[in-house]
Amino acid sequence: MAIGIKDIGSILDITWKVNAAGKRTIPCISGPAGVGKSQGVHQWVDKMAKTIPGFRMIDLRGATIDSSDTRGLPWKDEKTGKTVYLPPDFLPTDGFGVLFIDEINRSPTPVMNCFMELFTEKRIGNYKLPNDPKNGMWIIVTAINPPDSEAYDVNTMDAALLNRVMMYDVKFDHKSFIAYAKAKSWSDTVIAYLASGEWIYKEPGTGDGHYISPRTWEEMSDLELAGAKENQELHSDICTAALGKNIGKSYWAFCHQEKPITYDDIDKEYGKVGRKKDKLVELPSMKEFAKHTDQKRSGGIRADLIGTTRQSILNKIAAKGVDSLDHDIIEGIAMMLPADQAVAMVQEIAMKTTDPARFVQDFKAKRPAMFERLKTSIKQGNKAVGQ
């Protein structure tokens, strides 16, 4: 069964309910490296932690453990004279959570055999996985790289082990990936480039030799947020190292030649001129943004680049709060945007406040010129902004 990353949470909801009822089901999520399997599990754990205090995930990597790690070290019980096993400290003994066994098909056979016992009986030797929905319960979730691909060095999971898990094939979903990037406040330019469609996901072994996964883009975003774009020459090398020659050059050109404008770009320039409103439209960044919104220019408006600017405002709010915004800049952007997009932008900002209606009324009173321009779109159904 093929699923998207967004479906992992729903599958784990069901898994939790089945185990809480005293039954057993173990999902095994199969998908290419870096496609977001573990991120999907992490997001579900974060959601559960909001309702179950202390809910957590233990992340085990099959390739890095051996059978003694899972069964535990043997020692002699002096009272009975028998051998017993000391279970490892990474196996949970109380609380609530997920025991996530990643890359299980990279485990050697003895380790898989230990996992088989855990999957069947929820125990390994003397160790028992907490299984009380009231006092402490853990579910088991596993993940693997596709066993039928030459791109991965994996071991065979025999029929007995496969019979103990429910196999779900994860496929890359571009729409969900963009939503995830926005929710995590990735670099504005990374989000804009991904939304432009210039990059198309290709599984390992099917591209130009440089595998680019969602995880690759997350790393690229981290580099951008750390200031990687500030030195254009170095940024070129960074783009090539992270994304390969072809996509690396394309992304670099997007950043430096097409020049998407972010809120911070405008804010920095506006600060340098003393935040004098009459200077705002003369800023280089605002002039460049005006080109993106010019419907008469060859090719029309640049929706992808405008999207970068709007997303950068939301990222600013996520990082610093609504009060960090300079309303002169917001008004300047709104005056250049097509009216419907300007209305949508103000709506987006308002919904990030504790009192959206009050925010809009205050903005309307202080920025009458902007609202006069937008009133037609407002009357056509944007009541959240105009009323």
The pTM of the full predicted model, rounded to 2 decimals, is 0.71
Q: Domain spans of the chain?
A: 2-170, 174-256, 263-386
Output the pLDDT for position 387.
Answer: 46
Output the pLDDT for position 315.
Answer: 85
The domain at 2-170 falls in which architecture? 3-Layer(aba) Sandwich (3.40)
Phi, psi (deg, nearest 5) at residue 332: -60, -40
Phi, psi (deg, nearest 5) at residue 29: -95, 115
Q: Round to whole Å and give the CA distance between 46 and 50.
A: 7
Are the C-beta atoms of residues 126 and 84 closer than 8 Å to each other?
A: yes
Q: Round to whole Å and give the CA distance between 236 and 231.
A: 9
Closest CA to 6 of 34, 32, 55, 39: 39
Output the pLDDT for position 15.
Answer: 97
Q: Round to whole Å and give the CA distance between 187 and 179.
A: 13
Output the pLDDT for position 299.
Answer: 64
* Number of C-beta neighbours around residue 63 at 10 A: 15
Output the pLDDT for position 287.
Answer: 93
Per-residue pLDDT of the chain in tens (387 residues, 90 and over written 9): 578 888 999 999 999 999 999 999 999 999 888 888 988 999 999 999 999 999 999 998 887 777 777 777 777 888 888 887 777 888 899 999 999 999 888 888 888 888 888 898 898 877 899 999 999 999 999 998 877 666 666 777 888 888 999 999 998 888 888 888 888 889 988 998 998 888 999 888 666 678 899 999 999 999 999 999 889 999 999 999 999 999 999 999 998 888 889 999 999 999 999 999 999 999 999 999 998 888 776 667 888 888 889 989 988 898 889 999 999 999 999 999 988 888 889 889 999 999 988 888 888 888 888 888 777 655 554 444 444
